[in-house]
Amino acid sequence: MRFEKYFQPTSIEECVSLLKEYGTDAKMLAGGTDLVPRLKNKVIRPKAVIGLFSIPNIDKIALTEAGIMIGSMVQLRHLQKAEELGDRYVVIKEAAGHVSSMQVRNIATIGGNACNASPSADAVQGLMVMDAVCKIDGVNGKRDVAIANFFIGPGKTVLENGEILTGFFIPAPKPRTGTAYEKFAIRGDTDISIVGAGCSLTLCEDGTVTDARISLASVAPKPIRATEAENFLIGKKITETIAREAGKLAASNCKPISDQRASKEYRVEMVKVWVKNAILEAKVRI
């Protein structure tokens, strides 16, 4: 590994100051499961590495009446097992639990999973269907960005030079809401997903859908929402036929690629299957 300097700031302000000083020549170190291999293989050669381990409170989960705050340095294994999340936020635990192996989840962080901006990122899918808000600090102050707008493309986010992602705010779900995340991969969680599908459904008393969220992984240059399928579900009662139709709509809106894991045509077919499954599972959980 080659870099000139290592810093471990003890406040967000100190971190932001370092990011401003070094700009694109700095890389932030959280869990390191993505950064360290790149450093070892000399894919990147930053001048400065900034460890985030000593910044207070960004490794905490805080539950309030309005919702829940998850710090960017919360490890995925902690998130997967967090009792604070209970059943209301189960999809966040579920998505975090689908990331790689337990050894990786023990050190990887939710903020790192988001900032790595992989199209196949699993952990962020739980945040997507729960309408999470990204909390960002920088040289120009604080700002909030909806998680669906946080990703620009493969490996790219809206973070600008001098900015750090400090955490996520997830609003409390409405009554009669159910959520689910389904990952399809050949070797299970240790493998990168061929397709990931998340769903959130809110029903009124008669079973009609009043709100819907569908998220997709590994089928576009970034994690995406299937908005056409979401709109289709509004005002309907969930049946297997309706769920199947929503899956077809989601598949028509995705733009997957062919790689060593699957062809783009196969991914399109699997979107139909796993979106349907996620919808039906979310309904069961209401």
pLDDT of residue 78: 96
pLDDT of residue 2: 74
**DSSP characters for the chain?**
---SEEE--SSHHHHHHHHHHHGGGEEEESS-TTHHHHHHTTS---SEEEE-TTSTTTT-EEE-SSEEEEETT-BHHHHHH-GGGTTTTHHHHHHHHTSS-HHHHTT-BHHHHHHHT-TT-SHHHHHHHTT-EEEEEETTEEEEEEGGGTEEETTEESPPTTEEEEEEEEEPPPSSEEEEEEEE-TTGGGSPPSEEEEEEEEE-TTSBEEEEEEEEESSSSS-EE-HHHHHHHTT-B--HHHHHHHHHHHHHH------SS--HHHHHHHHHHHHHHHHHHHHHT-
Distance of alpha carbon 5 from alpha carbon 210, whole angstroms = 53
Q: pLDDT of 26-35, one tens digit each?
A: 999 999 999 9
State mean pLDDT over 94-118: 96
State mean pLDDT over 150-169: 97
Q: What global pTM score does this model have? A: 0.95
Indicate if the pLDDT at residue 276 is higher than 90: yes
User: Left if phi > 0, otherwise alpha if psi is -120 to 50, otherwise beta: which for 100?
Assistant: left
State mean pLDDT over 7-32: 96
Indicate if the pLDDT at residue 104 is higher than 80: yes
Question: pLDDT class for 1, splitting at 50, 70, 90?
Answer: low
Encoding tokens for residue 216? 């997709």
State mean pLDDT over 107-111: 98
State mean pLDDT over 78-105: 95
State mean pLDDT over 173-187: 96
Percent of the chain whose predicted confidence (pLDDT) is above 70: 100
Indicate if the pLDDT at residue 112 is higher than 90: yes
For 183, 201, 234, the CA distances from 178, given in Å and listed in that order, are: 17, 5, 15
Q: Do domains 5-51 and 177-284 have the same CATH topology?
A: no
| Class level of CATH domain 177-284 | alpha beta
Evaluate whether 45 touches 4 at the Cβ level (below 8 Å): no
Indicate if the pLDDT at residue 253 is higher than 90: no
Indicate if the pLDDT at residue 21 is higher than 80: yes
What's the chain's average pLDDT?
A: 96
For 2, 6, 36, 42, 263, the CA distances from 51, given in Å and listed in that order, are: 15, 7, 12, 19, 38
State mean pLDDT over 250-261: 94
Rounding to the nearest 10 degrees, give the CA dihedral for residues 143, 145, 147, 151: -100
Evaluate whether 278 touches 226 at the Cβ level (below 8 Å): no
Question: pLDDT class for 108, splitting at 50, 70, 90?
Answer: very high
Q: What is the CATH number of domain 5-51?
A: 3.30.43.10
Extents of the domains making up the chain = 5-51, 61-171, 177-284
Question: pLDDT class for 126, splitting at 50, 70, 90?
Answer: very high
Distance of alpha carbon 82 from alpha carbon 84, whole angstroms = 5
Distance of alpha carbon 110 from alpha carbon 132, whole angstroms = 12
Indicate if the pLDDT at residue 63 is higher than 70: yes
Among candidate residues 221, 251, 126, 220, the one with its CA nearest the CA of residue 181: 126
Indicate if the pLDDT at residue 187 is higher than 90: no
Q: What is the CATH number of domain 61-171?
A: 3.30.465.10
Q: pLDDT of 67-77, one tens digit each?
A: 999 999 999 99
Distance of alpha carbon 80 from alpha carbon 128, whole angstroms = 16
State mean pLDDT over 87-105: 95
Question: pLDDT class for 3, splitting at 50, 70, 90?
Answer: confident
Percent of the chain whose predicted confidence (pLDDT) is above 90: 95
